[in-house]
A and B are shown apart, each in its own frame.
Chain A
Amino acid sequence: MKGSMTHRMKLDTANPPAQAARQKGSFASGLQLTTDHDLCPGCGEPVALRALLDAVETLGLAQRTIGVVGIGCYTALTSMIDLDLIQALHGRAPSLATGAKRMRPDALLFTLQGDGDMVNEGLQEVIHTAARGENVTCVLLNNGVFGETGGHMTATTVIGQRTKNTLEGRDAAYHGHPILIGDLLAGLGGTSYVARGSVHDAAGVAKTRKYFERAFESQMRGEGFSFVEVLTMCPTGWFVPTKEGPGYLDEVMGSVHVTGELKVGGVLKRD
């Protein structure tokens, strides 16, 4: 701790005030049934979920939203989400969202998937859903590992990253190259909006929330497939101290999976 005790205000502890000096604000979204969860300290997924729920609420879409949830650590968060949900199999959420959207075209349809779910198990699902221009928003929580199984390599694990099955770091010659899924989807004709955010700091969270809003607005305008990828911390799966999670995310993952908007209004923003 920096600072000096001498600069602190002296409190009369014999007569404590009736109320705390600072009111503790409620930081829960109106769409959260509880803020309690069992994910690890330092996990980025509840932060990303909060940004998503804020966007739904801001756009006034809470009473017409259906979420389709994949299988990963974030599946444990479904009990706290106060939205109509369908629980999918690992990798299959984009197809469920497709079917639900065709029957409920006025609803906002989003998927919630991890990198193992979307980019490993269900890669062809998300690619075809995007290419069909299906009017849904697929959401990827990308931490570069299978967090739920304890930190194993996924298709987005960056070169050099240590995981439980790439103990010396991911070696391109032996383990292959990571898939930059946002960039891949942005190149497809059916996609209208693609962005990659990160929740490693407050500015990143604010941008991520904005990306969610833009993707959902695009869907409600009927522009076709939209995609929001969010880089999230997984200090447990990365085997780094909790407080180093945000820095690791920004430097190691963020330098490969570069953040920003990739496609807006059906037009690529960068090569």
Chain B
Amino acid sequence: MRALMEGSEAIAEAAIAAGCRFFAGYPMTPFTELLESFAKRLPEEGGACINAESELEAIGMAWGAAATGARVATGSTGQGLSLMQESMSEITRAEIPLVVFNMARGQGDYFQATRGGGHGDYRHIVLAPIDVNEAVDITQLAFHLADQWRHPVLIYGDYLLAHTAEAVAIEPRSAESLGGPLPEKDWAVDGSLGGSGRSRNLNPIGMEKGSKGIDPDRFWRLLQEKQDRIEAAEQRFEAEHTEGAELLVVAFGTLARFARYVVRELRAEGVPVGYFRPITLWPFPGQALAEAAAGARTVACLEQNAGQMIDDVRLSLFGSGLPASSVVSIGGISTDAAGFGIGPLLDTEVVRDRIRAALEGRAVDGVLGGPIS
């Protein structure tokens, strides 16, 4: 049954439909309403939502809860995510499934999300939904991928995703419909193996029971092999009108919704533009982007920051024959007076003007990156 729901409420419902039974968080705009939704709903489902004393504790609580094998989530806004990064690094290395929401203030947390964000040598899966309906699907997918890979999954949202109301239908999805059966959680600690000689130690440094010392080199190589497999298997994207496109617009998340709308409009008017959206920010769908951009003269990155995703776009197109100078930015810094990330760039007329400018080789205000050739 479809119902009108605000993004925060819909995402919490989708998480609960996926079996999430524990959440911990600390209020911060625009993440706060997600915490409110979990605080209201989880006790009704026999779960728990704890108002943590800070983001440091929120992720610690989520870590402990997830270590028991429960489906668990936490989250914040980019600033709060900064506080969580030490734990996110360790959780990744301890191979504990966890879903983390960043209801970000714009798109300035792209690097934080996609480069691991904390200390050490790791990345976690990052999914960026375009709207509330996709966020409902992606939230359930995130819990599935976390369990499948024993790896944290970050969902990158923003103010508009959290606070836009859309008609959504939330139904629990089967593991089969999300990619296949999941492995048993025989690694989870439940206390039952004490005294058996087979008790568990869920740790981020490769420690094994009964043997002194660790072998970090071997342990890190095993983790990297897993990350390589994730990188090969989990790239997701959306592409439209790439056939015959002279200019390909690349955008993610909320801003991609504006880009997609404008590209459809321009195509209807006969303007040769295409649209490409990474759904997974890590792993970045580089091969698919290179294929989508094969016939294009210009690749225009539309992102609401000083130029972060453009690095991944350039890396993806390196060696494709497209000159580096043909990858340009048509986004930029754009926010509201409160700094919550609702800037003038989030406007189809502005986006349209910037795409036109890139097509005509005109510079527009705030354009960063290479020259438009």
- Residues on A close to B: CB < 8 A? 30-31, 33-34, 36-38, 56-57, 61-66, 68, 76, 78-89, 92, 94-104, 107-108, 124-125, 128
Contacts and interface: CB of A to CB of B under 8 A. Distances in A.
Interface of B: 21-22, 24, 48, 50, 52-54, 56-70, 72, 86-87, 90, 94, 189-197, 199-205, 207-212
Contacts of A64: 191-192, 194
Given A83-B191, A84-B201, 19 more contacts: A33-B210, A62-B195, A79-B210, A82-B196, A84-B190, A84-B192, A84-B200, A85-B199, A88-B60, A92-B87, A95-B52, A99-B64, A99-B68, A103-B21, A103-B48, A104-B68, A107-B190, A124-B57, A128-B57
A124 B207 CA distance: 28
Contact of A83 (B60, B69, B199): B199
6 contacts: A68-B64, A84-B192, A87-B202, A88-B63, A95-B56, A124-B53
Given A64-B194, A95-B52, A86 B64 contact: yes
Contacts of A101: 64
Contacts of A88: 60, 63-64
A99 B195 contact: no
A234 to B, nearest CB: 20
Given A95-B52, A95-B61, A99-B66, A86 B209 contact: no
B190 to A, nearest CB: 6
Contacts of B197: 33, 82
B26 to A, nearest CB: 12
Nearest to B196: A82
Nearest to B96: A86
Given A76-B212, A79-B207, A97 B190 contact: no
B194 A82 contact: yes
A66 B24 contact: no
A85 B65 contact: no
Contacts of A79: 201, 207-212
A5 to B, nearest CB: 41
B203 A99 contact: no
A99 B65 contact: yes
Contacts of A99: 22, 24, 50, 60-68, 72
A80 B56 CA distance: 29
B65 A86 contact: no
B210 A107 contact: no
Nearest to B204: A87
Contacts of B195: 30-31, 57, 62-63, 82-83
Contacts of B62: 99
Contact of B191 (A96, A97, A108): A108
Contact of A85 (B50, B59, B196, B202): B202
A107 B65 CA distance: 13
A65 B212 CA distance: 22
A66 to B, nearest CB: 5
A92 B85 CA distance: 13
A21 B221 CA distance: 53
Nearest to B60: A95
A85 B189 contact: yes
Contacts of A95: 52, 56-61, 63-64
A119 B52 CA distance: 19
B209 A66 contact: no
Nearest to A128: B53
Question: Nearest 8 CB-CB pairs, A to B?
Answer: A95-B60, A99-B64, A87-B203, A96-B64, A99-B65, A62-B194, A99-B61, A100-B64
Nearest to A100: B64
